[in-house]
A = this chain, B = another copy of it.
Amino acid sequence: MSPNANHNGSAHHDHGKCVADALAAAREICDQRGERFTELRGRVLELVWESHRPIGAYAVLERLKADGRSAAPPTVYRALDFLMEVGLVHRIESLNAYIGCAHPGAAHASQFLICKDCGTAEELESPAVDAALAAAAGDHGFKIAGRVVELSGTCKNCSGS
């Protein structure tokens, strides 16, 4: 993994710390919720964060195998499903990929800005978007249970160049 990372070109970005923070937060959240943050789940979450952009389930699987661990698709899908239920990971539907949640711990409806050039996916939580969606759904008598909002395009850094 690139030690430098720095997703969107902005300044520096201590990737190791960022991953470690995410893991620490995850552990705490699971503790609070009485969920087991097992070694496997931790490793999967770590791999998702290390990628620092949406990563496919099978890419996670390959990395697990590279650890020397025995793993099969259900191994990773179960871990990802758990992490999504707890709110530590999001699934990007338009990419069939997964990414670490930027703001775990709080229920939230997020939106994603997916750059076609660099592959990063920035997580947003725009109240305005959320309100507009709620209003639009309400107009049609629709009760929202789940939201998928994914914009593809060019991110700030990539459009500069």
Contacts and interface: CB of A to CB of B under 8 A. Distances in A.
A66 interface: no
A158 to B, nearest CB: 9
B151 A144 contact: yes
A155 interface: yes
A141 B113 CA distance: 10
Interface string A124-135: 101011011101
Contacts of A94: 93, 148
Interface string A117-161: 000001010101101110111001111111111111111100100
26 contacts: A93-B94, A94-B148, A111-B133, A113-B140, A116-B145, A124-B140, A126-B132, A126-B135, A128-B136, A129-B129, A129-B133, A131-B132, A137-B151, A141-B155, A141-B159, A142-B153, A142-B154, A142-B155, A143-B153, A144-B151, A146-B151, A146-B153, A147-B151, A148-B148, A148-B149, A149-B150
Interface of A: 93-94, 111, 113, 115-116, 122, 124, 126, 128-129, 131-133, 135-137, 140-156, 159
